[in-house]
Amino acid sequence: MRTVRTAPHPDTGGAGGHSRILGIGGYRPRQVVRNAELCEAIDSTEEWIETRSGIRERRFASADETLHSMAVAAAAKALAGAGVDPMRIDLVVLASMSQLDQTPPLSVRVAHTLGARAAAAIDLSAACAGFCHALALASDAVRAGSARRVLVIGAERMTDIVERTDRGSAFLFADGAGAVVVGAADAPGIGPVVRRADGAYSEALRMTAPWGDSTGVRPWMRMDGRRIFRWAMDEVAPAAAEAVRAAGVTPDGLGAFVPHQANLRIIDLMAERLGLGSRTAIARDVVRMGNTSAASIPLALETLLAEGQAAGGDTALLVGFGAGLNYAAQVVVLP
Ligand code: UT7
């Protein structure tokens, strides 16, 4: 009988009971779609879309840019940035809300393609909050010693579940993937997570029908945007402030604010509520990438680092929120 390891793993890289992000990678689909291209199908205008959401353009995946290929590309970049060989990954956690194949878990196929042959792999369903939930699980696994290095991936092809003619969501959602590698550290690099779900809002973002029901009608995602907007301000913004306190830092000491890229108005209002000063870089990737659900936070982090708005060693407040409704927030140190 094969043994199952439950004790802390001896190879923690010599680090002392903490976790941190070691590397970040993203994949942005090739096709850029501007507001003008969507207006006719939803009876809208470029100005309305930009004023209400901040979005100017987004990326739509082509047929060859599958969830699998985008997740692999983002993860390979994160592994290269971290300088970690895939064989040294113990666990892959993949968050997605647009994975249409019920089984096998996409994470298992992604791990296999990457050559992470020693890893366990699980999928996580927490919609747009998925990345921050997955990051919290990865951090806990590393700190408890049940894994040494964890690959966390957020990957979405929202164009597979959003109806092109749906006025309430077609201009908002988009495709892409982002990933980080989490490993052991001598000092705290991923702060305590503040997280909660509220099923009273389960109708606010949902699919219109189950897949494969007897009517044969294809299900699509539907969203009560106004209701989620209010909830984000009333519930998520105070939770984000709590994550800052739990990490033992102050809002004006944050190097970056990287909330889920749902809507520029939500991002800017949340920054205001948190009392962030001019020293904190605010991620506004939504303007060029739209809302990529579980991929939006690692993609936005990658942009901040690539553009030099944030640097390794800075602290960043991450806040994921979405369907459920569900949120998770934590402060991290950037790699
Ligand atoms: O990522 C997961 C979590 N999701 C979110 O966080 C989404 C949060 N919500 C939002 O981002 C915003 O609610 C939206 C961008 C989706 C919508 O913006 P809004 O300011 O909340 O618009 P609204 O739904 O309150 O609609 C305002 C007006 C309405 O007209 P009246 O009733 O004021 O005459 C709508 O009928 O805009 C109209 N409208 C549109 N007009 C042009 C709604 N959709 C459109 C459209 N184009 N696509």
Q: DSSP letters along 167-196, please? A: TTTTTTB-EEEEEEEEEEESS--B---EEE
What is the reported pLDDT for 215? 85
Model pLDDT for residues 104-155, shown as the tens digit of each residue: 999 999 999 999 999 999 999 999 999 999 999 999 999 999 999 999 999 9
Mean pLDDT, rounded, for 70-89? 98
Answer yes or no: do 163 and 243 share one domain: no
Answer yes or no: do 127 and 265 share one domain: no
Answer yes or no: do 77 and 140 share one domain: yes
Q: Helices (DSSP H) in the chain: which residue ranges?
A: 36-42, 46-53, 67-82, 106-114, 130-144, 225-231, 237-246, 264-274, 286-289, 296-306
What is the reported pLDDT for 1? 44
What whole-number distance in Å separates Cα of residue 78 and Cα of residue 147? Answer: 18
Tally of CA atoms within 13 A in the half-sphere of 92 that contains its CB: 35
Q: Is the peptide bond before 325 cis (omega within 30 degrees of 0)?
A: yes
Distance 225 CA to ligand 1 centre (A): 6
User: Which of 176, 168, 11 shows the shortest CA–CA distance to 88?
Assistant: 11
Nearest alpha carbon, ligand 1 atom 48:
167
Answer yes or no: do 167 and 269 share one domain: no
- Flag whether 98 is in a domain: yes
Hey, is 95 helix, strand or coil? strand
What whole-number distance in Å separates Cα of residue 133 and Cα of residue 118? Answer: 23
- Flag whether 6 is in a domain: no
Answer yes or no: do 175 and 199 share one domain: no
What is the reported pLDDT for 57? 98
Answer yes or no: do 44 and 181 share one domain: yes
String of DSSP letters for 302-321: HHHHHTTSS-TT-EEEEEEE
Where does a domain end: 125, 155, 185? 185
- Flag whether 324 is in a domain: yes
CATH classification at residue 178: 3.40.47.10
What is the reported pLDDT for 179? 99
- Flag whether 240 is in a domain: yes
Answer yes or no: do 124 and 250 share one domain: no
Answer yes or no: do 256 and 175 share one domain: no
Residues noted as catalytic: 128, 260, 291
Nearest alpha carbon, ligand 1 atom 12:
225
Asked whether the whole model's pTM tops 0.85, one would answer: yes
Answer yes or no: do 128 and 204 share one domain: no
Q: Cβ < 6 Å from ligand 1: which residues?
A: 42, 44, 48, 52-53, 128, 167-168, 171-172, 225-226, 228-229, 232, 262-263, 266, 291, 293, 322
Pick from 229, 233, 319 the residue to mutate for probing ligand 1's pocket: most ligand atoms within 8 Å of its CB: 229
Where does a domain end: 185, 203, 218? 185
- Flag whether 158 is in a domain: yes
What is the reported pLDDT for 11? 55
Q: Sorting pLDDT into bands at 50, 70 and 90, what band is 277?
A: confident
* CB of 197 closer than 8 Å to CB of 325: yes
Answer yes or no: do 55 and 180 share one domain: yes
- Flag whether 8 is in a domain: no
Answer yes or no: do 230 and 167 share one domain: no
Q: Per-residue pLDDT for 5 more than 70?
A: no
- Flag whether 2 is in a domain: no
Residue 160 one-letter amino acid: D
Of 89-93, 100-104, 158-162, 254-258, where does mean pLDDT reach its minimum?
Answer: 100-104
When divided into structural domains, the chain yields a total of 2
Where does a domain end: 156, 185, 214? 185
* CB of 232 closer than 8 Å to CB of 270: yes
Residue 54 one-letter amino acid: G
Domain membership of residue 45 as a residue range:
18-185
Instruction: Supply the Cα-derived Rg of the chain in whole angstroms.
Output: 19
Answer yes or no: do 40 and 148 share one domain: yes
- Flag whether 5 is in a domain: no
Bridge-based pairing of strands 315-322 and 256-259 is parallel
Hey, is 256 helix, strand or coil? strand
Q: Per-residue pLDDT for 40 more than 60?
A: yes
